[in-house]
Amino acid sequence: MTNTSTSSLHDDTGTASSPQGTPQFNDFFALFNQPAHFNIDEQALDERYLALQKQYHPDQQHNNIKNDNINIDSHVNSNIDNDAKNLAAPSEVASALINHAYQTLKSPDTRATYLLESQQQADTLNNSISDLDFLDDAMTLRISLEEAIEANDLTLLRELKPQIANRLQTQSQRFEQSYQQQHWPKASDATQKLKFLVKLNADIMAGIDKVANRDDLDDDLYV
């Protein structure tokens, strides 16, 4: 994979810049007017996403997209699905890229991965996690999750949610500090753990919805 260095795409303040004033589709931080840091302004990210989607919506009557504005470099090519790349209309390609970039920056694990890729430091992300204490803790949480779902224990599921949030915050802080210090092994380790925790958090949210829906169904049966 050929990656574009993030530092080459930002000005001296670390803020994304665009000499032509057009969205930089080959740099996700520039696209969303965010500095190339792990900690981002999520509200600004959401607002920029809505503005871009409105601007590049395929049905926009006065769409001024030009093919050469949508610069899909090798990094983006490696991350976006083939269906999106093969779309005929430039506005549809832009919309797909905007969605992909937004999802990448929105989640801490993919945002960390993107930053490491920009520095060509992502080679070890597919290695197994060697921290046995972390794995033991994660397994305990996973077992608690499965037992709570099986027992329809909504209270336990809701108690697990802040526990995962605390662990996500811890690993996010580890990554931010390690990335700023260019301590790549530690940053990679934090990213691996973020991936694990983000998946666990998604499973907990799905479990809460599942059990809550069961409770609603049971209530309906007795109405």
Q: At what angle do helices 154-180 and 132-150 cross, to 10 degrees?
A: 150
Radius of gyration in angstroms for the set of CA atoms belonging to the chain, rounded to a whole number: 20
**Cβ neighbours of residue 39 closer than 8 Å, sequence gap 6 or more:** 176
8 CB neighbour count, 10 Å cutoff: 8
- The position carrying tokens 């390609």 is 93
- Give the pLDDT confidence score for residue 58 in this predicted structure: 72
pLDDT-above-70 percentage for the chain:
72
Residues comprising the chain, all counted: 223
**Cβ neighbours of residue 5 closer than 8 Å, sequence gap 6 or more:** 118, 119, 120
* b (16+ CB within 10 A) / e for 123-159: eebeeeeeeeebeeebeebbebbeebbeeebbebbee
**pLDDT tens per residue across span 35-69:** 999 999 999 999 999 999 988 877 663 445 444 45
> According to DSSP H, which parts of 11-60 are helical?
28-31, 42-55
pLDDT tens for the 223 residues of the chain, in order: 334 344 333 443 344 444 445 667 889 999 999 999 999 999 999 999 999 998 887 766 344 544 445 555 545 555 555 544 444 467 788 889 999 999 999 999 999 999 999 999 999 999 999 999 999 999 999 999 999 999 999 999 999 999 999 999 999 999 999 999 999 999 999 999 999 999 999 999 999 999 998 766 554 444 4
Q: Amino acid identity, residue 165?
A: A
What residues are paired with 16 via a beta bridge?
10
- The position carrying tokens 């090519």 is 77
* Residues 162, 164, 168, 169, CA torsion sign: positive
